[in-house]
Amino acid sequence: GENVEQHPSTLSVQEGDSAVIKCTYSDSASNYFPWYKQELGKGPQLIIDIRSNVGEKKDQRIAVTLNKTAKHFSLHITETQPEDSAVYFCAASREDSSYKLIFGSGTRLLVRP
Amino acid sequence: DGGITQSPKYLFRKEGQNVTLSCEQNLNHDAMYWYRQDPGQGLRLIYYSQIVNDFQKGDIAEGYSVSREKKESFPLTVTSAQKNPTAFYLCASRPGPGELFFGEGSRLTVL
């Protein structure tokens, strides 16, 4: 079945450095790729998403890149801050009537002050 | 304020008991979802509903049941047939293509 692999499972960076999280998906028909941030004891919140008709999208310190040929997409966080510490999930889906988001296993990001 | 409300936030259950987790949304979204979250495994889809009075099994539906009698409500029952029910359960909704909105979650512990 469909699968999304996410790496690394944990990531520790110094405040101000960049963080990169990578995902690979198996369903070549996937065309929607969101990233969610989950703080402790809370539900995930969307931070950025990308559709298959573009290769990159930026929102302030956050960017996502997509390589459809390789079925890879990545989250880039620049100038990290302690409040960026959380668990990040990537996901992939087809945006059709059978919509089902397939999530990666998550990356725990720790930003050291 | 619009949003998704899950209750209870924490729930303890004895083995052999059924429990029902509540999920209510006032976002006027047609589609609603239940996910289960275990450490290191991401979120796995239990059931989803695209419209009132209709729902489909997700990837791990065994031992769970749902109903969708009202647009605003999508309760999940964890039955005694679920062999390992201790987990964090997340309800979500979506108006159409795009963002999934999540509730704050319910943590179920089987004693």
Q: How far apart are CA B11 and CA A82, in angstroms?
A: 31
Q: Would the CB atoms of A106 and B42 count as touching at under 8 Å?
A: yes
**A39 and A29 Cβ atoms separated by less than 8 Å:** no
By residue count, chain B amounts to 111
Bridge partners (DSSP) listed for residue B109: B12
Residue A105's closest chain B neighbor by CA?
Answer: B42
Q: How far apart are CA A51 and CA A99, in angstroms?
A: 14
Q: How far apart are CA A111 and CA A85, in angstroms?
A: 6
Dump pLDDT digits (tens) for A40-87: 888 999 999 999 888 999 999 999 999 999 999 999 999 999 999 999
Q: What is the pLDDT of residue B75?
A: 98
- pLDDT of residue A96 exceeding 80: no
Model confidence band, residue A97 (pLDDT cutoffs 50, 70, 90):
low
Phi/psi class of residue B24: alpha, beta or left (left: φ > 0; alpha: ψ in -120 to 50)? beta
Dump pLDDT digits (tens) for B91-104: 999 987 778 999 99
Considering only CB atoms, which chain B residues are within 8 Å of A100? 45, 48, 58
> Tokens for B66?
């749902």
Number of neighbouring beta carbons within 10 Å of residue A113:
8
Q: What is the pLDDT of residue B12?
A: 93
Considering only CB atoms, which chain B residues are within 8 Å of A34? 99-100
> Tokens for A18?
């960049």
Q: How far apart are CA A32 and CA B61, in angstroms?
A: 24
The beta-carbon neighbor of A34 closest among B31, B99, B103 is B99
Dump pLDDT digits (tens) for B29-80: 999 999 999 987 789 999 999 999 999 999 999 999 999 999 999 999 999 8
CA distances from A37 to A28, A54, B1 (A): 25, 22, 21
Residue B99's closest chain A neighbor by CA?
Answer: A46
CA distances from A39 to A110, B19, B99 (A): 12, 26, 18
CA distances from B22 to A12, A95, B2 (A): 36, 27, 17
- pLDDT of residue B6 exceeding 80: yes
Residues 82-111 of A with CB under 8 A from B: 89, 95, 97, 99-101, 103-106
